[in-house]
């Protein structure tokens, strides 16, 4: 529980820190570069076979592809929408997508708590977006929705890779090594190499600190997944929604009462989804 709650706090924190970067679309490249170094250092202490099966490696590569799209869409969402809104849509939407896949594909049991949680979570997301955001915020919410799809994808890929015996350090490092080049190519195509190179060096202290926090978040998550039930871990980690809202408030963001109500429903629904049958 300590590992997962710490991971949730660090995950919300690195998103909040990325939001403070002058250009989050470029800042995410620098942050993930730092995390790649951190993942490599973590993997140095690994003992035994990284991927006992080829299927485990395949799932790790799939997680990396999902992460590359997630990181690109997340940075755009944070650039155009408030942190509290973007984070709740992305994390809550991911839980709503992971749940039916886990039940129908992975054979997880269904309980009244899980059904109630899914309903609450869905209602919460609807309530948050009853009044469609205008301008950049609307585009930001759309990017957050795409991030939700990718979050569900890499969580499921991580779970399946760990089930094949993959070691958490190798899984983390492989995922980021796949994601970073894809992210760089996408950014170069969109912004140009000169802009990327120039703005990637902005706020180096913030970038390094954010990268360390990001690494800690994923390292703690994968360590917990390796020794605990995936459903309980992923559910507890969604306490990051509450952390993100608190951090957004500290940054001066003010969500409407309707959006706060929706976020509360999302958080409660995420917890109920993890109650065992």
Angstrom distance (rounded) from CA 242 to CA 258: 16
Q: At what angle do helices 204-227 and 24-44 cross, to 10 degrees?
A: 50
**Per-residue model confidence (pLDDT) at position 63:** 93
Angstrom distance (rounded) from CA 19 to CA 143: 14
Element (H, E) at 72: helix 54-80
**Per-residue model confidence (pLDDT) at position 46:** 77
**Per-residue model confidence (pLDDT) at position 31:** 93
**Per-residue model confidence (pLDDT) at position 17:** 92
**Per-residue model confidence (pLDDT) at position 107:** 65
**Per-residue model confidence (pLDDT) at position 277:** 56
Nearest one of 32, 34, 41, 101 to 70, comparing CA atoms: 32
DSSP 3-state percent helix, strand, coil across the chain (nearest 5): 80, 0, 20
CB atoms within 10 A of CB 271: 18
Angstrom distance (rounded) from CA 76 to CA 148: 13
**For residues 217 and 235, is the Cβ–Cβ distance under 8 A?**
no
Nearest one of 199, 196, 93, 100 to 144, comparing CA atoms: 93
For the CA atoms of 204, 198, 71, 122, what is the dihedral angle to 10 degrees?
A: 90
Angstrom distance (rounded) from CA 101 to CA 6: 26
Angstrom distance (rounded) from CA 272 to CA 263: 14
**Per-residue model confidence (pLDDT) at position 234:** 64
Gyration radius of the chain over CA positions: 18
Nearest one of 152, 13, 153, 23 to 76, comparing CA atoms: 23
Which sign does the torsion angle of CA 188, 215, 221, 95 carry? negative
**Per-residue model confidence (pLDDT) at position 34:** 94
Nearest one of 224, 213, 223 to 38, comparing CA atoms: 213
Question: How many domains does the chain contain in total?
Answer: 1
**For residues 196 and 184, is the Cβ–Cβ distance under 8 A?**
yes
**Per-residue model confidence (pLDDT) at position 116:** 81
**Per-residue model confidence (pLDDT) at position 254:** 74
**Parent domain of 214:** 2-273
Which residues of the chain fall short of a pLDDT of 50?
Answer: none
DSSP 153-172: HHHHHHHHHHHTT--HHHHH
Separation in Å, CA 165 to CA 41, 57, 72: 20, 10, 29
pTM over 0.75: yes
**For residues 195 and 26, is the Cβ–Cβ distance under 8 A?**
yes
Angstrom distance (rounded) from CA 217 to CA 205: 18
């Amino acid at each position: 529980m300590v590992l997962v709650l710490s991971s949730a706090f660090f995950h919300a924190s690195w998103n909040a820190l990325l939001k403070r970067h002058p250009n989050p679309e470029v800042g995410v490249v620098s942050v993930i570069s730092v995390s790649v170094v951190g993942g490599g250092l973590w993997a140095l202490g690994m003992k035994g076979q990284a991927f006992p099966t080829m299927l485990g490696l395949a799932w790790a590569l799939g997680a990396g592809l999902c992460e590359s799209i997630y990181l690109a869409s997340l940075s755009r969402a944070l650039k155009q929408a408030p942190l509290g809104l973007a984070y709740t849509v992305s994390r809550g939407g991911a839980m709503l997508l992971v749940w039916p896949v886990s039940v129908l594909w992975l054979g997880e049991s269904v309980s009244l708590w899980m059904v109630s949680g899914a309903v609450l979570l869905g209602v919460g997301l609807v309530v948050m977006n009853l009044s469609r955001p205008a301008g950049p915020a609307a585009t930001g919410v759309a990017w957050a929705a795409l991030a939700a799809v990718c979050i569900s994808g890499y969580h499921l890929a991580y779970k399946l890779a760990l089930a094949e015996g993959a070691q958490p350090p190798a899984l983390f490092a492989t995922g980021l090594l796949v994601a970073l080049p894809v992210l760089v190519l996408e950014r170069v195509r969109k912004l140009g190499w000169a802009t990327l190179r120039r703005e990637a060096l902005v706020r180096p202290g913030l970038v390094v600190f954010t990268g360390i926090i990001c690494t800690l978040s994923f390292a703690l998550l994968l360590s917990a997944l390796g020794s605990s039930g995936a459903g309980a871990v992923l559910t507890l980690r969604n306490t990051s929604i509450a952390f993100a809202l608190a951090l957004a408030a500290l940054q001066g963001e003010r969500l409407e009462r309707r959006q706060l109500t929706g976020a509360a429903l999302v958080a409660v629904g995420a917890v109920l989804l993890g109650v065992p049958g």
